[in-house]
Amino acid sequence: MLKTKEKIVRSLVDFWVKNEKEIIKSHFFREIVAKQGILKSRSLFSKYSIELAEEGYIQERKEGNHIRIRPSSTAIEMFGPKFEFAPDMEDFKKVKEVYVEPKGYKKIQDILSKEKFVIICGAPSIGKTATALHLGIELSKEISRIKFIEPLQQESFISKCMDVKGRTIIFDDAFGKPKAQEELANRFEHFLRFTNGNYVIITSREDVLKEVRERHTVLAEHKIDDFLVYLKEDSYDDIQLGEILQRHLNYYKKIIKITDAEVILAQRYHKEIIRQLRFPHSYEILVESQLKKVVGRKFSIYDAIKDASQPKRVVKHWFLDLDDVKKYFIFTLALFPWIEERKFGIIYDEVLRTLGKERAPQISISKLRETTSSYVRTEGFVDFRHQEYFEGAWDGILEKHGKDVLDIIPFLGRFMQDPDIRLQSAVCLGQLGKVNPELVLPILKELFKSENLYVKHFAFYALGEIGKGLDVFPILHDFIMTGDELNQREVMYVVSQIGIARSDVALSILEKITKQRMDDNSLSKIIRMIGETIRGPLGGKVLPMLEEIKHKYPLLKEVFDNSIREIRKSEVTKPLKPTSKENLLLNSSFEYGLSGWYSTGGSVTYMAVKIAGNRQHCIKGIEEREDNLGRLYQDLTGVLIPGRKYKISGWIKTEEVEAKGERGGAALALNYVDQFGWTPRNGFVMELGWMEKEKKMVGTRDWTYFESGAFTLPPMPSDCSALWFLLDFNDGKGTAYWDDLSLTEVK
């Protein structure tokens, strides 16, 4: 469709952006221009004379592309599939029907009304995005006036839409998901500029926001507390949660996704549902997918409620139960999320061919999206509806489709020329690297050649995951020696990432980096970056290294002192002091949440919780697989001394823990581990919880106290690389709690 108005105005437009030039070169655009006589070339694809209507625009739609020319602008806006800045229409409809305002909603409204800007922060599934969308609907009235920007869209939106007015702009997960991304936090001032004529709403996970505020980012330079509102578990009381449940029942009944029997079931058990489900997102999962399993007698209502609080678990089992066509659709989506539908279809067919499968001609991508719409978006980019759905699908893939993953890794190399697929390959390679890092490394090396900063960032992230099991120092060394500050900063974040699981490996890398031959200026930059990026347990171990090196470079004393000061004042390193003079563990009663503790991941989830009674804070672990590593640990390598005597103790509680063999059951232990976190036969030091037959922590057992006798710490075996104090299910699965842990030296 081509529109013009009566009154014509003229303006000159420069096309400097590469992809805009490509569109102008395209045949269909030149053909339209020629027919209308409104665009005349002044030089080859660079300068044009435009005649168009005031208050109107020329619009061309072909194969999903949309080119808009506005007289008030000095540039042509191009909105094709690559630059659609709107949420799924289904999300809007759902929010309008089911949203219930939490406590603090009025505060968000007041801040937004006064400042035109607000940051909504909280845990996953607490309702941040739904709150932002609801505010957008209130402010803009029309959905078309809401711009919904995800992290991967930020750069395009900022570069092309700085003059947009009269909109509500939502930057969802603005500083990264699920991990913090420094370059996104450095765009904070761009976000603020949009407040000129618009409302701006930012959402962020609480842990991500905390991390980017502690790093040296543009965001960290701003005082944002006056614009910041936290959504927490107690933001919803029982009355509000009851209303959330009823609205979800009404909505899904209205669109014929649930039956009367499911509605009656939920109403009968509404008190138990409200007691156990405190996050709004859990109600969507319960009503849309879990109630029908109870009606169909596959689940008890209590199992359905329990699963609804664990989105990753629900999606994992849903994925594993799919037929092959849908399963490999989700498999492909987990590998290549957030891609335009037409291109995704090409990739999907290539994945099927690589794995020796095929898609029936009548099964379109649109149809597959529709039949998996509980967890997959039905409009715009092909993607999961929620980050936890993506993570749940990956848990299922790694559990049952490891061979398919290995077969698909070489396939990624065939698509390295496509910039979109390069980016998505970088995103998923961190997951693939856990399966076979040796196969992934060559592909990463290709991705590092990309000029796209996003691609390189995710490639570095993947390298950090691989670096927990492989020696990646030669690659990091090459980037350090380039002298490029962006590369060097990424290297520091890789080291920090490795340090979460392997502080000994990360410390060794830093020592090697600082010993490289470089001039004072180059070393000064490296030391400054160490101070800006290294935190947590690794920060505590880096301090002695910096103190030692400082004396060799008297001219850089101020640089060293500044870095040491930055690491010491970091909030992350504060809880790293031992709980007491006697207890050598950090945050042993979990008053600081999970600070100082790290998980090996996989199918296990650990969280800090508050429970009724005297035990205010504790750790809750949910393990879904018996063969998963599934540990929560502190790295005590170098803290404890072989030959000295120690003892450990703690409290454990279990719920429906199933044991596989004699070793199954919830436990706490002090063990040596190999580079992947496993304990070899000669690495066992002391374990409690599964060994005592009378007190074995399986099934459902109330809080039980365990204490070892004094034992002598043996030397580290040759096939081990670290000493961990750890919590574990051993060869078991279920739910367990730990609290008041202790590790003391016996003198």
Q: Which domain-ending residue is among 22, 49, 79? A: 79
Mean pLDDT for the chain? 79
Q: Tens digits of per-residue pLDDT, 119-176?
A: 999 988 899 999 999 999 888 777 678 888 988 788 778 877 888 888 999 999 999 8
Q: Give the whole-angstrom CA distance, residue 347 versus residue 325.
A: 14
Based on the domain organization, do 610 and 672 belong to the same domain?
Answer: yes
- Alpha-carbon Rg of the chain, whole angstroms? 28
| Overall pTM > 0.75 | no
pLDDT band at 646 (very low <50, low <70, confident <90, very high): very high
Q: Supply the range of the domain harboring residue 691.
A: 598-745
pLDDT tens digits for 521-577?
889 989 988 888 887 667 777 888 898 899 889 999 999 999 988 887 764 433 344
pLDDT tens for 384-427 read: 988 889 988 988 888 888 788 878 877 776 666 666 666 666 66
DSSP string, 415-429: GTTSHHHHHHHHHHH
Spell out the alpha helix ranges (H) of 99-193.
Answer: 105-115, 128-140, 154-160, 182-185, 188-193
Which pLDDT does position 52 carry in this prediction?
Answer: 32
Residue 52: inside a domain, yes or no?
Answer: yes
Is 467 within a domain?
no
Phi and psi dihedrals of 611, rounded to 5? Answer: -130, 165
Residues 529, 645 within the same domain:
no
Any idea of the CA torsion for 193, 194, 196, 198, to the nearest 10 degrees? -160
Structural domain contains residue 420: no
Asked whether residue 257 is domain-assigned, the answer is yes
Per-residue confidence band for 501, with pLDDT thresholds at 50, 70 and 90: low
Q: At what angle are helices 311-321 and 387-400 packed, to 10 degrees?
A: 50
Tell whether 168 and 104 lie within a shared domain. yes
Does residue 439 form part of some domain? no
Same domain, residue pair 230 and 243: no
Report the distance separating Cα 279 and Cα 378, nearest Å.
Answer: 24
CA distances from 540 to 212, 536, 545 (A): 20, 7, 10
What's the average model confidence in pLDDT over 356-377? 89
Q: Provide the 10 A C-beta neighbour count for residue 236.
A: 24
Q: Are residues 195 and 58 in the same domain?
A: no
Domain final position from 287, 309, 331: 309
Give the pLDDT mean for 630-640: 86
Q: Mark whether 668 and 719 lie in a shared domain.
A: yes
Number of residues that this document lists for the chain: 747
Q: Is residue 687 included in any domain, yes or no?
A: yes
Assess if residue 410 is contained within a domain: no
* Whether pLDDT at 74 is above 50: no
How big is the CA angle at 140 (ends 139 and 144), to the nearest 5 degrees? Answer: 155
Q: What is the pLDDT of residues 176-218, one digit of tens each?
A: 887 788 778 888 988 998 998 999 999 999 888 988 887 778 8
**371: three-class secondary structure by DSSP:** helix
> What string of H, E and C letters represents the secondary structure of 426-452?
HHHHHHHHHHCHHHHHHHHHHHCCCCC
* Overall number of domains in the chain: 5
Query: Is residue 511's pLDDT more than 80?
Result: yes
CATH number at residue 214: 3.40.50.300
Using N-to-C axis directions, what is the helix angle for 536-550 and 485-501, rounded to 10°?
Answer: 120
Residue 6 pLDDT > 60 = no
- Helix 324-335 and helix 311-321, axial crossing angle in degrees, nearest 10: 130
Task: Indicate if 146 and 243 belong to the same structural domain.
Answer: no
Shared domain for 668 and 682, answered yes or no, is yes
Is the pLDDT score of 22 beyond 50? no
Statement to judge: residues 123 and 15 lie in one domain? no
Q: Is residue 293 part of a domain?
A: yes
Q: Which residue has the higher pLDDT, 692 or 684?
A: 684
Domain end position, chosen among 215, 235, 255: 235
> Taking residues 453-469, what's their average pLDDT?
79
Tell whether the model's pLDDT for residue 100 goes beyond 90.
yes
Whether residue 603 sits in one domain with residue 741: yes
Split at pLDDT 50, 70, 90, the class of 236 is very high
pLDDT, residue 143, reads 67
Distance CA 557, CA 460 (A): 30
Q: Are residues 144 and 176 in the same domain?
A: yes
CATH number at residue 673: 2.60.120.260
The reply to whether 25 and 131 lie within a common domain is no
> Looking at residue 252, what is its pLDDT?
95
Q: How many CA atoms lie less than 13 Å away from 86 in the CB half-sphere? A: 18
CB within 8 Å of 216: residues ≥ 6 apart: 532, 533
Quote the pLDDT of residue 25: 35
Q: What is the pLDDT of residue 493?
A: 83
- pLDDT of 537: 65
Longest dimension (CA), the chain: 94
Tokens of 550: 């400082």
d(CA 6, CA 9): 10
